[in-house]
Structure formats: structure tokens, C-alpha cells
Amino acid sequence: MTDFYRAIADSTRRQILYMTSKQEYTQSELVDYFSVSQPAVKKHLDMLVREELLAERKEGRYRYYRLNVDVYERGMNLVTTDLNRVLEHKLNRLKHYLEEGENG
């Protein structure tokens, strides 16, 4: 499984994921969108490809990037499951605390 949390921790990577969910982009198109350097965008792309969140297709001298929907959905399901566990634990602790307050 991809390190989904690490991949989405950066706002530039989240924006790349959002953009590539709508259409394919070349690295140059993405560089033009962001106010960071070409090497910085390339580093983000490489990380997202390595984590399999982006699919990469080569056509001529260009590489096109698009969201790997299946991997992204698995990651989002993981986040949802983790958050549900945390919230359930917190709510159980709150319930226990309130019940103790009523009893004494």
C-alpha cells in the first residue's frame, strides 16, 4: 500500500492530485501552474508516481500524468477508516467520562 498520508501531506501534491483527477497534464503544464521551480514539481511528480498515486504515460518526448483512481480511492478509504477509529475512541472516552460524572 502506498504511503498515502505522506503523499497528501504537501499542499502542492494535493493540488497535483486534484488537477490530474480532471485531466492529464504534462510536467511543463504543471510547472506553469505552480509558483515553484521545475525541479520541485518534478520531485513531487516522482514521489506521486513512486507511491502509485499518479499514472505516467510517455508520448514522444512528453510524459503525461493522471490520477490513479484505484490507488487514490484505497488511500481515501484508509483515511476514512483511521479517522472513524479515532473518533469512535474519543467518543467512547467522552461517554465514559460523562457516565462517571453522573455516578459520582
Task: Report pLDDT digits (tens) over 72-102.
Answer: 999 999 999 999 999 998 998 888 888 888 7
Q: What is the pLDDT of residues 13-60, one digit of tens each?
A: 999 999 999 999 999 999 999 999 999 999 999 999 999 999 999 999
CATH number of 4-103: 1.10.10.10
**Cβ(2)–Cβ(53) below 8 Å:** yes
Q: Domain extents for the chain?
A: 4-103
Task: Return d(Cα 47, Cα 5) in angstroms, integer.
Answer: 12
